Structure 1
């Protein structure tokens, strides 16, 4: 099997969906499978330092003046509006270069298939077609909106841009028909399947988009706390509006007052100063720690010292950090909306319904207090979460399934239609 993994970025530092192609490449190469990685050069130094023995399997798109101009423009727009305008143009420009490069790789290395794991959006058009080999796209995960009670957190311009973008997505996918012509499309859930463009030719298979590298995220044996030792909660993620860290701080105020617990916020973003100021106004200076960005290994050490994870995000298609906390044996409190709802159940954490701001904040508070006051509950939920991750979300098992899909895709006849095989 000779495979090309193609993506805009593959990176541990960038985080988010950039982890996915990195993990596919890492695990496939560890199994001595001839996997080539085609990405933008912005992550070249990182990747070559991480995998020096595999440099000959990495191929990079140069960073041009047009990339830099589009990025500059994207940064001046609201996040989601920038992604579906300047970000999309930059992605398609990168893919036009990648397409030429992949044509060369197919001829030179007799590639069997091309796998495009990101972008996760089911609406984004793709230029990965006409390559002379089957194409797999996904797992995709998207089609999300803010919960109805929190739509006001999205400004009107951003909402309008996204609505218009979704309306024209079918036209764009016909103009650039990578998804329509893909042999196999992978989707994380039914919501994403319903958001796919019309007119697909390929087989659609359900497969969770996130996984956990259990060589990094490993639990340690729980140590009973001393009587004066404070319970520690941790949040890991960017400090941006849709992550709702401001609501987490409001929810934590009564927790700190009643239990003397600590909240450590790991991550950085444009709202950091604003959130630090809010923490001071709420009187949480001695109870909330802003740590900033940390590497995966450093985050793992922090989670080993924690008693629970809280992710109050209101627009989380995935949420790999939830799985990473579960892999460390931590109970998790997360929003019952999007990705976390696919990972958690009542045995290993709390899913908080985003029905209103007041109810959401109160239920976050209640869940943190329950965990603070019950070491037994923290232990039982942590064990259940670890078992669930090992059974369903280990990257090694996920790649086992991907290899099956690779084989099935290469074995399919060109005339095979949607609904055959393992399609859903």
Structure 2
């Protein structure tokens, strides 16, 4: 089977959905499949560091217009930029990628073209009539803020998102990649419901994220004599409003008086300055992880994140708009219990045996629920250990990247057998 993976980015450094095409290409390449990767040259340095000058990694060039859109998007709220300048950038990139994919089908005999990102179920795709079946996804979206948190988005964001979604079916008729795809994979029922109408191929449900156990594996044993005498919690992710880190800080301020604990915040973003100011006002900010304190570590590499997470006791993800949440799976792989908001992606991964899901009924209720979850885990090493063991068993059984690629290979084979959509 000859396969072409097409994506704007393939990167562990960028994080988020950009890691998905990287993992597909890496694993298929390691298994000696004839596989090509078509990506924007923005991630050239990282990919050449990983794969050398592999001729099967094909970079589409940057252009002055794409660079202009990139700069304009920096002045917009993130969700607005994604629907506007970001979308235009992806379309311009895909126009070039279509030409490369068609060339590979003709010259190299590529049999399957797979577009794993963007994961938005509504966003149109330019990949159609390539001469080979197209597989899209798994897609994961259809998200809204919890009802009690709708004020987290501005009026501008609300109008822009509503307008973009209203145009979904029209745009997918004008740019019919998803409608003409042989197979569209979705991560959950929520994403299935957000798909554009009139799809001609199969729709298959399969998890979006997975865990690379070559990186996220094992546990970090603590020496009871030399290790910390308090429970060490960690958050990792972009520091943006919808991650809910401000709520976590307020919850931690309450919980630290009930049990000894510290909090490490890994990541960077637009909200970092505001969050550090809030931590300072609450008397939490510190340059170390002393009991009762919060330390901001900034951006760390994936390897550094894995090492830091392995050395902590539990992960907290208070996000209010998390479609996926791969970090939850990564913590589970490291035998860590997880506290998360009962909304979006974490609901697909966690159960009561391996974590604590806190309903986002209102800001006050979520703060109170997070504080109680922090207290509960900090007060019981046995509970942390049992949840961590259950988490690792669950993630190995259901979310291993190797198993996921096996399932996607079955999808490729199904597309080759069935191809109900036009080539």
Q: TM-score range by the shorter chain?
A: over 0.9
Asked if the contact 2:220/2:310 (under 8 Å) is kept, the reply is no
TM-score, structure 1 as length reference? 0.96
Asked if the contact 2:200/2:420 (under 8 Å) is kept, the reply is no
Deviations 1:136-180 (A, max 9, x none): 000000010000100001001100111111111100000000000
Report the 3-state secondary structure (helix = DSSP H, G, I; strand = E; otherwise coil) of the residue aligned with 2:142: coil
Q: CA 1:415–1:35 in structure 2 vs 1: closer, same or farther (change >3 Å)?
A: closer
Per the alignment, residue 141 of structure 1 pairs with 140
Offset at residue 413 of structure 1 (A): 4.8
Offset at residue 182 of structure 1 (A): 0.1
Per the alignment, residue 361 of structure 1 pairs with 367
Offset at residue 222 of structure 1 (A): 3.7
Structure-to-structure mapping, 1:17-416, within 5 angstroms: 17-52=17-52, 55-220=54-219, 222-223=221-222, 225-226=224-225, 229-286=229-286, 287-414=293-420
Provide the rounded CA distance (Å) in 2 between the counterparts of 1:156 and 1:220. Answer: 45
Provide the rounded CA distance (Å) in 2 between the counterparts of 1:415 and 1:167. Answer: 25
Report the 3-state secondary structure (helix = DSSP H, G, I; strand = E; otherwise coil) of the residue aligned with 1:333: strand
Offset at residue 224 of structure 1 (A): 5.8
Provide the rounded CA distance (Å) in 2 between the counterparts of 1:299 and 1:83. Answer: 26
Offset at residue 2 of structure 1 (A): 0.5
Provide the rounded CA distance (Å) in 2 between the counterparts of 1:340 and 1:285. Answer: 28
Greater mean alpha carbon deviation, residues 135-144 or residues 289-298: 289-298
Provide the rounded CA distance (Å) in 1 between the counterparts of 2:368 and 2:218. Answer: 30
Deviations 1:282-305 (A, max 9, x none): 011241010011111111110111
Report the 3-state secondary structure (helix = DSSP H, G, I; strand = E; otherwise coil) of the residue aligned with 1:179: helix
Deviations 1:245-268 (A, max 9, x none): 010000001222232311000000
Offset at residue 231 of structure 1 (A): 1.1
Provide the rounded CA distance (Å) in 1 between the counterparts of 2:368 and 2:233. Answer: 17
* Structure 1: segments with no counterpart, 5+ residues: 417-424
Provide the rounded CA distance (Å) in 1 between the counterparts of 2:257 and 2:192. Answer: 45
* Structure 2: segments with no counterpart, 5+ residues: 287-292
Asked if the contact 2:324/2:345 (under 8 Å) is kept, the reply is yes
Per the alignment, residue 420 of structure 1 pairs with none
Report the 3-state secondary structure (helix = DSSP H, G, I; strand = E; otherwise coil) of the residue aligned with 1:259: coil
RMSD, aligned α-carbons: 1.3
Per the alignment, residue 8 of structure 2 pairs with 8
TM-score, structure 2 as length reference? 0.96
Per the alignment, residue 422 of structure 1 pairs with none
